[in-house]
């Protein structure tokens, strides 16, 4: 009997061997004929490999704190452009000591602040998280103005000073804004990496978001965050919403009532500030102000001191507020970036001192919510066709043409007011009154659009009054008078899509098709997405430049990681900001966010065995009533603090170069 089994086994081995090499990768999954031997050697190998303690993860406090650092409006080329300016370990923390990806691009077309922050937190694009713009028309919620991506009148703002109480609430000052709704992530349809951390640790992890802007504080942090803080625009007070808490924590009240606001105004060289957001917000002092608040939060909430990983999303807004005015090619922008380099250096030094075990127990990811276009006049100087588009005039031209088509002789407002490209929302109620459904309305506007854009083109220059040949023969096309000078830029419509086209596709299997598929959300009602030619944008009297397009200057952002699992280096392959949440989730050992489409950046991860976290210094024992020798109680195990205190072990290494 035994011999028969042996022969069968031998036969099986002979049959299997020729295939063995082809099956190297699946060998563990498929029991082979020499299973008894393999099982024994595998068991021995596993016994060698099983670590004494579980591998580092969020569940055992590795890292102690994970920070997602977002710079609002920070194009991917800035770090190369101004590299020579950087000192110490601000941006160089990522460039010299971290894993840095210079080729990181958002893979969608609606490169605005709210969708950018939502994308960073959720690892999904607009088709996954639902946020397509900073604000949009929602006639069911408000018939007078667009709603913002995070406003939510079911909640109230918490922590604003008396001077900012809105006109519809008791105690409001005479010139108070009429209405100030609360905020929430009500429109965010996907979970964030912070939400997943909270779920994975049954709420033991603490997660917070900070920014000057409500949307940039709320959307990357998520719905399960313990809190999100942004500023009351007039006073600069940090506030939150009753969605998160009914009153500010004591440390935040202390921050608001301390000297921080006055110091920020002084640092900005300003006095009598009436609009903190607009006046201080566009100076480097606003970055210090936000970082000071982040430090107060880390101390107040004891981030990094829990048994599991904590997380902070910090979005620095000043670069965007300034950048819209001066553009990416100005000396002001360079100065702002250089100041931020120094501010980040001192923030990282502060973390090194204040997180147990130092900066080596912190992970920091650096990215941005979008890039930015050059100021159109600057681009036009070099010959690019960088026109600005008068959207009011475009809407009025369209309204005229739609009236001609559907209600001749009338002046119905079919296009809604207060709009921002790339979207143009239509008045559903007016079209319905005229008996026109969404498909008819959107395709009619889409067909009328090229002519409406063409009507914005500046008239050709006057024919020169010299002795050029005057008339053209009757009946022929007038001859074009060649210009000696470069003509002014002219608006060009590149593409347009109706909401229904965006919703349904089908998309060509190309990068462009994927970009558009990633951009869809029903927010905004009936709309057309307008994509002008590159370097063109809507004209705003108060803005020098903007970001909202599928062009690379708007989609290109930095992506860098610092922390124990990340292998330092410059990684030149194409990556996306959605990879941040996916990578963090994987290395934390938690689920990816609900709609994540990111990839784990395995190329930048060290082998698990090489990942080392510094051990925090033991808490010094109380010495008041004991001498050193008294602490050595007989029978005390080597685990106790005294051993560490009296041992000659080298001091913990500085956690970072």
Which spans of this chain sit near Zn ion (rule: CB under 5 A)?
72-73, 113, 320, 369
Q: What tokens were used for 534? A: 């590159």
The residue among 76 and 614 lying less far from Zn ion, judged by its C-beta, is 76
Do the Cβ atoms of 260 and 231 come closer than 8 Å? Answer: no
d(CA 479, CA 133): 45
Distance of closest approach, residue 505 Cβ to Zn ion, in angstroms: 28
Burial of residue 470, with CB atoms counted within 10 A of its CB: 0-12 exposed, 13-18 middle, 19 or more buried: exposed
Angstrom distance (rounded) from CA 353 to CA 298: 12
Query: Whole-number minimum distance, CB 538 to Zn ion, in Å?
Result: 16
106 vs 348, which CB is nearer to Zn ion?
106
| Smallest distance from Zn ion to CB 420, Å | 13
Whichever of 290 and 320 has its CB closer to Zn ion, that residue is 320
Q: According to DSSP H, which parts of 166-222 are helical? A: 193-200, 214-221
Minimum distance, C-beta of residue 116 to Zn ion, in the bound complex (Å)? 6
What minimum distance in Å lies between the beta carbon of 115 and Zn ion? 10
φ, ψ for residue 135 (rounded to 5)? -155, 160
Q: Smallest distance from the beta carbon of 240 to Zn ion, in angstroms?
A: 20
Closest C-alpha to 70, from 190, 206, 194: 194
**Could you tell me how many residues make up the chain?**
657
**Min dist. Cβ of residue 132 to Zn ion (A):** 14
For Zn ion, give the closer residue by CB, 190 or 219: 219
Answer whether 554's CB lies under 8 Å from 372's CB: yes
Q: Cβ closer to Zn ion: 62 or 370?
A: 370
Q: CB neighbours of 357 closer than 8 A, spacing ≥ 6? A: 64, 613, 614, 615, 616, 617, 652, 655
In angstroms, the CA 319 to CA 83 distance is 17
344: exposed, middle or buried (Cβ count in 10 Å: 0-12, 13-18, 19+): buried
Q: Which is nearer to Zn ion, 111 or 240 (CB)?
A: 111
Total H helices, total E strands in the chain:
23, 19
Which of residues 399 and 545 has its CB atom nearest to Zn ion in the complex? Answer: 545
Q: Say if CB 521 and CB 503 are below 8 A apart.
A: no
Distances (CA, A) of 157 to 217, 385, 592: 14, 44, 31
Determine contact, residues 55/608, Cβ cutoff 8 Å.
yes
CB of 408 to Zn ion, least distance (A): 43
**Closest CB to Zn ion among 368 and 380?**
368
CB of 321 to Zn ion, least distance (A): 9
Q: Indicate the DSSP class of residue 655.
A: S
Alpha carbons 387 and 457: distance in angstroms, whole number = 9
Helices (H), 30-140: 35-49, 78-81, 92-95, 113-122, 126-129
Report the residue closest to Zn ion, judged by CB.
113
CA distance 530 to 245: 39
**Cβ distance to Zn ion smaller for residue 328 or 525:** 328
Pick between residue 73 and residue 388 the one whose CB is nearest to Zn ion: 73
Distance (Å, whole) CA 92 – CA 560 = 10
**Which tokens sit at 559?**
């992506």
Which lies closer to Zn ion via its Cβ, residue 72 or residue 232? 72
Per residue in 293-313, is it b (16+ CB within 10 Å) or e — as a string? Answer: bbbbbbebbebbbbebbbbbb
């Amino acid at each position: 009997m035994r011999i028969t089994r042996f022969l069968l086994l031998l036969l099986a081995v002979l049959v299997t061997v020729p295939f063995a090499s082809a099956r190297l990768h699946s060998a563990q999954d498929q029991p082979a004929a020499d299973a008894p031997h393999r099982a024994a050697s595998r068991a021995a190998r596993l016994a060698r490999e099983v670590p004494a303690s579980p591998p580092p993860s969020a569940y055992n406090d590795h890292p102690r704190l994970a920070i997602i650092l977002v710079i609002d409006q920070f194009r991917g080329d800035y770090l190369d452009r101004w590299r020579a300016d950087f000192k110490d370990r601000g941006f160089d923390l990522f460039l010299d000591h971290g894993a840095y990806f210079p080729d990181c691009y958002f893979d969608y077309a609606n490169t605005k602040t709210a969708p950018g922050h939502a994308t960073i937190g959720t690892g999904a694009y607009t088709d996954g998280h639902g946020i397509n713009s900073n604000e949009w028309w929602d006639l069911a919620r408000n018939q007078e103005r667009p709603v913002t991506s995070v406003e939510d009148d079911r909640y109230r703002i918490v922590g604003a000073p008396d001077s900012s109480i809105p006109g519809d609430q008791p105690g409001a000052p005479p010139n108070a804004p009429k209405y100030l709704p609360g905020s929430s992530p009500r429109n965010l349809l996907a979970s964030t990496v912070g939400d997943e951390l909270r779920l994975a640790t049954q709420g033991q992890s603490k997660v917070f978001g900070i920014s000057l802007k409500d949307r940039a504080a709320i959307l990357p942090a998520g719905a399960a965050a313990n809190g999100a803080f942004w500023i009351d625009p007039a006073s600069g007070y940090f506030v939150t919403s009753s969605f998160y808490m009914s009153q500010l924590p004591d440390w935040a009240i202390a921050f608001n009532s301390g000297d921080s606001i006055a110091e920020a105004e002084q640092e900005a060289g300003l006095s009598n500030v009436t609009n903190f957001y607009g006046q201080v917000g566009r100076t480097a002092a606003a970055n210090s102000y936000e970082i000071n608040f982040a430090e107060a939060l880390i101390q107040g909430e004891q981030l990094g001191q829990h048994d599991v990983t904590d997380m902070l999303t910090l979005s620095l807004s000043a670069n965007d507020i300034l950048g819209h005015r001066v553009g990416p090619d100005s000396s002001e922008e360079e100065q702002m970036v250089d100041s931020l380099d120094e501010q980040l250096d001192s923030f990282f030094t502060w973390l090194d001192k204040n997180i147990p075990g130092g900066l080596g127990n912190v992970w920091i990811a650096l990215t941005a919510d979008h890039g930015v276009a050059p100021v159109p006049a600057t681009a036009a100087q070099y010959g690019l066709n960088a026109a600005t588009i008068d959207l009011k005039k475009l809407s009025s031209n369209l309204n005229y043409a739609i009236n001609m088509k559907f209600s001749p002789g009338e002046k119905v407002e079919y296009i809604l007011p207060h709009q921002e490209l790339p979207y143009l929302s239509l008045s559903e109620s007016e079209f319905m009154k005229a008996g026109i459904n969404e498909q008819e309305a959107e395709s009619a506007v889409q067909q009328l659009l090229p002519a409406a854009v063409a009507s914005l083109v500046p008239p050709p220059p006057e024919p020169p009054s010299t002795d050029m040949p005057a008339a053209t023969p009757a009946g022929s096309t007038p001859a074009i008078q060649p210009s000696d000078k470069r003509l002014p830029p002219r608006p060009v419509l590149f593409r347009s899509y109706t909401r229904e086209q965006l919703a349904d596709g089908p998309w060509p299997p190309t990068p462009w098709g994927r970009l558009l598929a990633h951009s869809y959300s029903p927010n905004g009602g009936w709309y057309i997405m307008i994509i002008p030619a590159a370097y063109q944008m809507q004209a705003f009297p108060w803005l020098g430049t903007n970001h909202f397009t599928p062009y690379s200057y708007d989609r290109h952002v930095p992506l860098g990681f610092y922390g124990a699992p990340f292998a330092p280096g410059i990684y030149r392959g194409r990556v996306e900001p959605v990879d941040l949440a996916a990578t963090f989730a994987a290395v934390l050992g938690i689920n990816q966010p609900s709609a994540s489409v990111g990839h784990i950046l395995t190329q930048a991860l060290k082998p698990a065995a090489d990942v080392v976290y510094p051990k925090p210094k033991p808490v010094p024992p109380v010495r008041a009533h004991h001498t050193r020798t008294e602490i050595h109680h007989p029978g005390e195990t080597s685990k106790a603090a005294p051993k560490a205190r009296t041992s000659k072990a080298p001091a913990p290494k500085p956690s970072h170069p």
